[in-house]
Amino acid sequence: MTALGILVQVMALLVVGAYIFVVADRLMVGTETGVRAALVYPVRRLSFLLLQPVTTTERPDFEAWILAPSLLFGLAAVGAVPIPLDAPSAGGDIPAGLVLFGAAMLIVLVAVYIFGWAPNSALPMIGGYRFAAMVLSVGIPFSLVVLTTAIPAESLSVGMIVEAQSNLWFVIEQPLGLPIYLVTAAAIAFWGPFDLPEGSDLAGGIAAEASGPRLATWRFARAALMVTLALMGQAVFLGGYLGPVLPGWLWTVIKTLILLVILASAGRTLARMRVQRFVWFGWVILLPLALVDVFLSGWIAL
């Protein structure tokens, strides 16, 4: 596939996925009277935000503030590139795709941090600090569980990892993998019980000073990030495009949607975790579990 083709495919995927995610989330809150209202919600919301001007604060870091939302979306797109949607027809697979994904997801920290720093305001800045503490705590378990899937596949290419699951999906072979992945992925997308940087106790945190198209881009980029994380989750744990009867791409879509709905509902039904407890949770619970995951999988693979 040409580079342009990949670009169009990833963009289309993220836009449609983000729309579905926002609608699913809207249904979870339970404010709307029906599915129809939830279906038009993203359109109405976007229209309003496009009518709002972008406000500014006193002496913001102007360029950084403009850069952050596009950087976040760019990272979501880069992370989605190495994930195969269907059985690869001919080549096109990135050899170190898993590392590319990992690098993109850890740079999310940079995007979020500068988005909180740039407005020159206290509450967004606290949001940025919180996110730094969070990612430093879960970055290692996140990388470990993702990289562990490369052990049985003996390759860092995502396509090869999917192929390695033709007998047994890694969600069963590495039972600790998917739960840890979902928890850390929600934290990296500052979603769900881990929306500390944007928490209501910070009046919106990093996004508190953003308005209009800037806020719209930011929200869209975050939804796209969720889609990328769900895509990777289904590829490395749920066997990606593998499945009976239906065509491969449809399996990818179905599995991605399942993970998106799980993430959306967890985000709306669980209370936000305190920063302190979260840092403890990351280092004391998730990191050892992720190490156990690595050792067990390595042992099984040998």
Judged by CB under 8 A, the chain residues 246 through 265 that form the site for another protein are none
Q: Tell me the helix, strand and coil percentages in the chain, rounded to 5.
A: 75, 0, 25
Task: Count how many Cα atoms sit within 13 Å of the Cα of residue 4 in the half-sphere of its side chain.
Answer: 0
**117 or 220: whose CB is closer to another protein?**
117
Q: What is the H or E stretch that residue 208 is in?
A: none
Residue selected from 90, 245, 271, 302 as contacting another protein according to rule CB under 8 A: 271
**32 or 250: whose CB is closer to another protein?**
32
Structure tokens at 74: 């760019």
Q: How far is the CB of 246 from another protein (least distance, A)?
A: 31
How many Cβ atoms are within 10 Å of 246's Cβ, its own excluded? 11
Stretch that binds another protein, among 6-14, 30-38, 176-184, 248-256 (CB under 8 A): 30-38
Overall size of the chain counted in residues: 302
For residues 240 and 109, is the Cβ–Cβ distance under 8 A? Answer: no
At 272, is the secondary structure helix, strand, or coil? Answer: coil
Mark 202-230 as b/e (b = at least 16 C-beta within 10 Å).
Answer: bebbbbbbbeebbbbbbbbbbbbbbbbbb
Q: How far is the CB of 77 from another protein (least distance, A)?
A: 16
Stretch that binds another protein, among 9-17, 83-91, 174-182, 273-281 (CB under 8 A): 273-281
For tokens 């083709």, name the residue: 5
Q: How far is the CB of 205 from another protein (least distance, A)?
A: 9
Q: How far is the CB of 255 from another protein (least distance, A)?
A: 25
**104 or 253: whose CB is closer to another protein?**
104
**98 or 253: whose CB is closer to another protein?**
98
The contact pattern for another protein, residues 210-239, with x = CB under 8 A and - = no contact, is xxx--x------------------------
Is position 47 an interface residue for another protein (rule: CB under 8 A)?
Answer: yes
Site for another protein in 52-91 (CB under 8 A): 52-55, 58-61, 64
How many Cβ atoms are within 10 Å of 293's Cβ, its own excluded? 22
Residue selected from 69, 79, 84, 139 as contacting another protein according to rule CB under 8 A: 139
